Structure 1
Amino acid sequence: MMSDYRGLNQANWNDRAPLHADSLDYHFDDFRTDPSFLSHVVRFDLPRLGDIRGVDAVHLQCHIGTDTLSLARLGATVTGLDFSPASLAEARKLADAAATPIEYVESDIYDAVSALGGRRFGLVYTGVGALCWLPDIRRWAATVAALLRPGGRLFLREYHPVLWSIDETRTDALTIGYPYFETAEPMVFNDETTYVETDSTVANTITHEWNHGLGEIVEALLQADLTLTQLVEHDSVPSNPLPGRMVHDDQWEWRLIDHPERLPLSYTLQARKG
């Protein structure tokens, strides 16, 4: 029987949203004061993202909207979608402060097609830290395909599933501690902290998460009749998932201090429909 992962995870993200908006990590003040400021996640992939001026895009699992606003600043017409009303409240406040029209829709990703009224887009964008909250990667790929018009593309940057399989509590070695492949049952975590610098904690501490192997993700997209056009693995990530073992560069990317070539940390994937 499937867990109540939506309710548990939504409550957790509702707690996280104001903490993230108030943290320096999400750079709300920079977005408000500098009309050219882009999120570090979007800036990292600019050479691969290319010219998106005039493209109608949907940002799935958009959270508090910093990547969404960045896509809009690059010239796209963007709709953001997320299941957390608290996250969308922060995203709307940021867009208003930046005087940028962005439509935000509250919906679980699996209900995105109906929530968006059957609209199709030239670009489906998903940023880091999204897929681990979904139990079924094939259903995700089918949703992406249904949201794309012919010729439209998916743009995804994600944490690498090899990284997500590493036990972060083991600081003496890189040790596999979690599933690499998608499992029927979720990994259950109980954590009152979040990934930004904050003295506050969350009240709803239980989350349910899944890993998805890189082959599973690619195969799901192929089965949804999408054509893979790019897959690049990176030795860096825009956060610090292995505390004490990583260092960040001037682009706000984190790498292993010791032999970073040992571990893929993230990847950028693109696929096209039709």
Structure 2
Amino acid sequence: MTDYRALNRASWDDRAPAHAASADYRVNDFADDPAHLSDVVRFDLPLLGDISGLRGVHLQCHIGTDTVSLARLGATMTGVDFSPASLAEARRLSRLAGNPVEFVESDVYDAAGKLGGGGFDLVYTGIGALCWLPDIRRWARVVAELLRPGGRLFIREGHPVLWALSDPLPEGGALTLEYPYFEQAEPLVWNEGGTYVETDAEFTHNTTHEWNHGLGEIVTALIDAGMSVTGLVEHDSVPWEALRGHMRRVGNDEWQLTDRPERLPHTYTLQAVRTAV
């Protein structure tokens, strides 16, 4: 059986330096402006609330722009990722920004074993993370294990309806459900040479394995893991041009379907609390 982790890790290792060097991630702004936050975290603020003094862990943190932003909001943050190249960029960013963050190399399923269970007030997961995981129930158990009783999960993620759409859209721009909405045992296998930021870099590791997870599957997995869902908000924007040529920029570096965006849930924010044990 192909090791999906090795394939996906090689892809992220290949792309991390290009992401850090791109204008899209605005790494230098963290050094130039001590109040700068990533656009993703800035969008999250109204629902995220005050996190000062909390001990937080950011799962699948990539190059750390969101992790450092959370640290700037007063949380003591640990970032977790399985890509050593991504973590090298994240540690460099933390030094440039002047915000100390601990970064730990680990597969997300091994995070509780690496960090210890029950010690965190906040588990944060950002855009484009869950699609790399084959088993959402196993993920939910890790989240619950990391949190202390009363600790909170905060995740904003691409909506599974968006992930299920044909991309690129067919001629005429009709929204067409092409890929599985529900989690499948077998991955979607992609072979794509580019990446989602503007870059001239060329990559050699281009095969990835991905999975979709239905919203009901995610909510049920968290409940079964001992979490109580406290909020679920669906949004009509996404922080990248997910459907190229069919979206418009709408502010805060968010993108929205140009034609009748009310038809499509673009992203969602889900919050849950670990119940007392």
Q: Which TM-score band applies after superposition, normalised by the shorter structure?
A: over 0.9
Count of residues in correspondence between the two structures: 273
Question: 1:229 and 1:114 mapped to 2: Cα distance?
Answer: 26
Q: Give the corresponding residue for 1:212.
A: 213
Query: Do structure 1's residue 200 and structure 2's residue 206 form an aligned pair?
Result: no
Q: Give the corresponding residue for 1:269.
A: 270
SS in 1 for 2:36: coil
Shift of 1:241: 1.1
- How far does the alpha carbon of each residue in 1:213-261 deviate from its partner, in whole angstroms, 9 at most, with x for none? 0000000000001000000000100001100000112211100011000
Shift of 1:170: 2.4
Q: Give the corresponding residue for 2:249.
A: 248
- How far does the alpha carbon of each residue in 1:92-136 deviate from its partner, in whole angstroms, 9 at most, with x for none? 000001111110000000000111133520000000000000000
Question: 1:260 and 1:249 mapped to 2: Cα distance?
Answer: 11
8 Å contact kept, 1:25–1:196: yes
Question: 2:247 and 2:155 mapped to 1: Cα distance?
Answer: 23
Q: Give the corresponding residue for 2:160.
A: 161
8 Å contact kept, 1:194–1:201: no
Question: 1:225 and 1:119 mapped to 2: Cα distance?
Answer: 13
8 Å contact kept, 1:9–1:206: yes
Which aligned pairs between 1:61-72 and structure 2 lie closer than 5 A? 61-72=60-71
Q: Give the corresponding residue for 1:35.
A: 34
Question: 2:67 and 2:88 mapped to 1: Cα distance?
Answer: 14
Q: Give the corresponding residue for 2:108.
A: 109
After TM superposition, the runs of 4+ consecutive aligned structure 1 residues lying more than 4 A away are none
Shift of 1:200: 1.4
Q: Give the corresponding residue for 1:185.
A: 186
Q: Give the corresponding residue for 2:139.
A: 140
Question: 2:102 and 2:42 mapped to 1: Cα distance?
Answer: 22
Question: 2:8 and 2:192 mapped to 1: Cα distance?
Answer: 12
**Consecutive unaligned residues in structure 2, runs of 5 or more:** none
Shift of 1:199: 1.4
SS in 2 for 1:25: coil
Q: Give the corresponding residue for 2:56.
A: 57
Question: 1:223 and 1:21 mapped to 2: Cα distance?
Answer: 37
- Amino acid of the structure 2 residue aligned with 1:265: H
Instruction: Evaluate the alpha carbon distance shift between residue 85 and residue 119 of structure 1 in structure 2; reply closer, same or farther with a 3 A threshold.
Output: farther
- Amino acid of the structure 1 residue aligned with 2:241: N
- How far does the alpha carbon of each residue in 1:171-219 deviate from its partner, in whole angstroms, 9 at most, with x for none? 4211111100000000000001000011112210000000000000000
8 Å contact kept, 2:7–2:207: yes
**Which is worse superposed, 166-175 or 100-109?**
166-175
Root-mean-square deviation (Å): 0.8
SS in 1 for 2:242: coil
Question: 1:233 and 1:170 mapped to 2: Cα distance?
Answer: 22
8 Å contact kept, 2:39–2:252: yes
Question: 2:92 and 2:44 mapped to 1: Cα distance?
Answer: 25
**Consecutive unaligned residues in structure 1, runs of 5 or more:** none
SS in 2 for 1:150: strand
- Amino acid of the structure 2 residue aligned with 1:57: G
Question: 2:66 and 2:118 mapped to 1: Cα distance?
Answer: 21
Question: 2:152 and 2:206 mapped to 1: Cα distance?
Answer: 35
SS in 1 for 2:103: strand
Shift of 1:29: 1.1
TM-score, normalised to structure 1's length?
0.98
Question: 2:201 and 2:263 mapped to 1: Cα distance?
Answer: 34
